[in-house]
Structure 1
Amino acid sequence: MNRVDFQFPPITWTGALILCLVCPLGLHADDWPQWRGPNRDGVYSETGLLESFPAEGLKVRWRVPVGWGFSSPVVAQGRVFVTDARLEKPNVREQVLCFDEATGKSLWTYSHAVEYPDWEFTPGQEQGPNGTPIVRDGKVYALGPLGHRLFCLEAASGALLWKKDLEDEYQIDESAAISTSPLIEGNLLILLIGGKPDAGVVALDKDSGNEVWKSLDEYAAHSSPIMITSGGSRQLIVWTLKSVTALDPATGKPYWREKFTAGGSANVVSTPVFSDNRLLVNGLMLQLDAEKPSAAVLWPARPPQRLLNSTSTALLQGDYLFASESSGELVCRNASTGQEVWRTDKANDSKYAANTSIHLTLNGDSVLLFNDRGELIRARLTAEGYHEISRVGLIEPTYPWGGRKVAYSAPAFANRHVFARSDKELKCASLAANPE
């Protein structure tokens, strides 16, 4: 059964006016239409933001209830999109929700009920949705809780344009969760699904959903793909269960492949990071050839040392990288050698030695850190150390894990606001230095 609720289809004049007031002319403002931001690189380039956060907390613009999920919200053209799941045993209702960016009013809901196996309802075993939607050319593309169904919806109304049963078409195991976030390159919608035959990665026509190519006989895990330009070519970088591979995005044919066994899908989570012809894949640093599509291991030489974190993505900045390790500590390493420069436990609670998370987002000359305690921190990260400027509680952690409650979903930053979600609520708070 499909249900589409149409509420406030256009952005209201009031909403448009509020957006104009909070985003005055002369300041740089951006949407956040996909995983890790406009360029999928964890960079937030807006200006006119708070340097220090108010002691009484950020000004909350709105908050709305949402259901189960670890996907991040995305923001585009005055709307906020998020996926969630409503557990109604034996069914799971897969949902895409759309809200007015300025007011939080519900604009529409796309809802699709699917019968799920009993294990899906076991506390601690609930699945997703994990993959973050992507918005492009008036359409929103989203995966359901297990990632087995793909939906293309009209962003303005929520009308279903097309859908695809990935589980059936690509022989995906019932218990396999597709947790990666879709990517768009030109007219191609690219997904890591771990399907068969030879469908570890698939590229679909984004307007019709028809398959254009498929590639790799490999299982996917939880790491989302990225696009880079290196060696005179566009390269699609995918981290699967057994390797890091660069593909020609037009054809799916491999340019190069580096074996990388991370010890299970739970470790294959972080998104690859590219800068200055260096490609960091969790704890594996590759040097890319500037003349042709090719790569060589820069460090480390021994595979067991190639993991930094199983929950979050590093920041690669100049000669240094900054990463949250699974111990909860934030670590700085030399990007050329991998040698540790410093580490600190100030950004998170390191007494929990497994599956801690800190999402790092570069903003100007400082970094916004969102830890799994639901705190937003502004700090300067340099070779000299961790220099905290300010921190504030952003959202209450609600997911029970390892004897505590955590907030794992990465926030979105757009139009001088931060958008954070738990499995209870979606919250919008102002980051503007001079809000109207």
Structure 2
Amino acid sequence: MKSTIPAVLLLVITIVSSATAENWPSWRGPENQGISSEKNLPTQWSADKNIAWRLPMPGAAGSTPVVWDDHIFLTSVADDDLILMCVGTDGVERWRRKLGSGNRDVRGDEGNSAAPSPSTDGKHVWAFFSNGSLACFDFEGNEVWQIDVQEKYGKFDIQFGLTSTPVLHKDKIYLQLIHSGGAKVVAIDKATGKKAWVTDRTSDARQECEHSYASPIVYDGKEAKFLLTHGADYSIAYDLETGNEIWRVGGLHPPGRYDVTLRFVSSPVAKDGMVVVPSAKRGITAAVKTTGKGNITDKKDLYYWTFEITPDVPSPLIVDDLVYLCRENGNLIALEKESGKQLYEERTNRIRHRASPVYADGKIYLTGRDGMVTVVQAGREFKVLAQNEVGEAIAASPVISNGKIYLRTFDALWAIGNE
């Protein structure tokens, strides 16, 4: 019996470790909310402190990696090629697959064709690029299927490329194709790549407002279930199985003259019966109920509140009884969830912020374009706990999984863990 004790202890340790570890299967985490349940994560690091490893990348990308057990998946450019990579949590590249070529850099150093993030369900991984390449691979890197979305659903007509990340839910992967060439919402069978349904997405938006760089989300609550798309002046909810429109909310422009350059980049977040709907630039943020029907733009009983500032690029975050908005300039705003009352707006790192905030273990991680991650204490009082630099530009959001924080800079993939 004595010889079996170490094995039993090892089994117990493995079970406990598995229970506390968490996968990060999509760009905003397990529930598309930017929230991790993991504890005891590093608060402080630098290029030579609390770094488990650093793996150089073949090219730049703004896409956020996804993690399942010991597999990390991320997209990148490699010269002119568009590739999906698999990296082990030991920092060793396992494989890479080319999905196409013809990378397009946009807005100087702002982005390229590898902006959408991959998704995984633990058996397969799906990757999409702004040229329309969409493919499914197994964990060994074998291609299951690949399609050209532009060929099937229309040529993209969008100024800076279709950078929206598809959302994976149960047996489907959903795409919002919001651009000037005929906006559509598409549900695809994740196993085959075949169309489940396609819906024309109508709006009265015009000029550049017809373009959207935001990503759809799925809300799967007790009181409501829907696919939420965001762009062309509206957030629109669709039935997950049929593609029928359930509700839409507009009125997201500032009052007065119509701004033809107000295109959405920030994506909504939904949690506990509330959808926080951002807009862009000088637009508003609205918090609406998940149970609406039809056009709810003027139905004030279906609003929790509206707020006169929007985050513009980073997506909102809902934690407990607070809503957080990270502005493009790095200012962090905290609002009461139920009332929308502002508790504070405080400066963090005064640099462009493209990444969305992530929450874990009482802390909010805000990532600046210069690679500095500001760690803020969550709660009604503002407190900066640390500011950490690795010295490399970044547009991807942080990823938290299995006790590590992963940062995908333009130069490398970093694994940050307590020494």
Which TM-score band applies after superposition, normalised by the shorter structure? 0.7 to 0.9
Q: CA deviation at 1:147?
A: 4.3
CA distance in 1, matches of 2:198, 2:152: 12
TM-score (norm 1): 0.79
Q: CA deviation at 1:260?
A: 4.6
The answer to whether the 8 A contact 1:170-1:199 is kept is no
Aligned to 2:71: 79
CA distance in 1, matches of 2:142, 2:261: 34
CA distance in 2, matches of 1:121, 1:196: 18
- The structure 2 residue matched to 1:297, chosen from 300, 303, 313, is 303
1:389 aligns with 2:380: no
- The structure 2 residue matched to 1:38, chosen from 18, 30, 33, is 30
CA distance in 1, matches of 2:248, 2:395: 30
Q: CA deviation at 1:56?
A: 5.9
The answer to whether the 8 A contact 1:375-1:392 is kept is yes
Query: Does the residue aligned with 2:150 lie in a helix, a strand or coil?
Result: helix
The answer to whether the 8 A contact 2:354-2:396 is kept is no
Q: Which amino acid aligns with 2:249?
A: E
**1:196–1:379 Cα change, 3 Å:** closer
Aligned to 1:420: 407
Worse overlay, 60-69 or 119-128: 119-128
1:379 aligns with 2:362: no
Q: Which amino acid aligns with 1:70?
A: G
The answer to whether the 8 A contact 1:198-1:214 is kept is no
1:168 aligns with 2:165: no
Aligned to 2:287: 286
CA distance in 1, matches of 2:170, 2:34: 21
Aligned to 1:10: none
Q: CA deviation at 1:123?
A: 4.2
Could you tell me which runs of 5 or more consecutive residues in structure 2 were left unpaired when the two chains were aligned: 1-11, 204-209, 254-258, 279-283, 297-301
Aligned to 1:4: none
The answer to whether the 8 A contact 1:33-1:135 is kept is yes
Q: CA deviation at 1:174?
A: 5.6
The answer to whether the 8 A contact 2:36-2:400 is kept is yes
Q: Report matched runs for 1:323-334 at 5 Å.
A: 323-334=325-336
Q: CA deviation at 1:246?
A: 1.0
Q: Report matched runs for 1:179-328 at 5 Å.
A: 179-194=163-178, 200-215=184-199, 216-217=201-202, 219=210, 221-230=212-221, 232-260=223-251, 263=259, 267-282=263-278, 283-288=284-289, 296-300=302-306, 305=308, 307-328=309-330
CA distance in 1, matches of 2:85, 2:152: 26
**1:47–1:86 Cα change, 3 Å:** same
Q: Which amino acid aligns with 1:242?
A: D
Aligned to 1:9: none
Aligned to 1:344: 346
**1:377–1:136 Cα change, 3 Å:** same
More strand by share: 1
Q: CA deviation at 1:202?
A: 0.3
Aligned to 2:88: 100
Q: CA deviation at 1:60?
A: 2.9
1:63 aligns with 2:41: no
**1:36–1:294 Cα change, 3 Å:** same
Could you tell me which runs of 5 or more consecutive residues in structure 1 were left unpaired when the two chains were aligned: 1-19, 399-406
Q: CA deviation at 1:321?
A: 1.6
Number of residue pairs matched by the alignment: 385
TM-score (norm 2): 0.81
Once the two structures are superposed, residues 218-267 of structure 1 have per-residue CA deviations (whole angstroms, 9 ceiling, x without a partner) of: 65512111121357331111112221111101011011111255556774
Once the two structures are superposed, residues 114-167 of structure 1 have per-residue CA deviations (whole angstroms, 9 ceiling, x without a partner) of: 346xx75884475231111001242111112x24111111222x2221111111
Aligned to 2:397: 410
Identity %: 18
Once the two structures are superposed, residues 155-196 of structure 1 have per-residue CA deviations (whole angstroms, 9 ceiling, x without a partner) of: 22x222111111122222365522121212221110112379
Once the two structures are superposed, residues 326-385 of structure 1 have per-residue CA deviations (whole angstroms, 9 ceiling, x without a partner) of: 33311122334434321111x212xx5xx43463212122223323331233321322x2
The answer to whether the 8 A contact 2:186-2:195 is kept is yes
Q: Which amino acid aligns with 1:204?
A: I
**1:289–1:114 Cα change, 3 Å:** closer
CA distance in 2, matches of 1:291, 1:422: 40
**1:23–1:396 Cα change, 3 Å:** farther
Aligned to 1:6: none
Q: CA deviation at 1:200?
A: 1.9
CA distance in 2, matches of 1:338, 1:84: 39
Q: Which amino acid aligns with 1:234?
A: K
Aligned to 1:136: 121
Once the two structures are superposed, residues 2-36 of structure 1 have per-residue CA deviations (whole angstroms, 9 ceiling, x without a partner) of: xxxxxxxxxxxxxxxxxx99997376111111111
Q: Which amino acid aligns with 2:306?
A: P
**1:264–1:380 Cα change, 3 Å:** farther
The answer to whether the 8 A contact 2:45-2:51 is kept is no
Query: Does the residue aligned with 1:390 lie in a helix, a strand or coil?
Result: strand
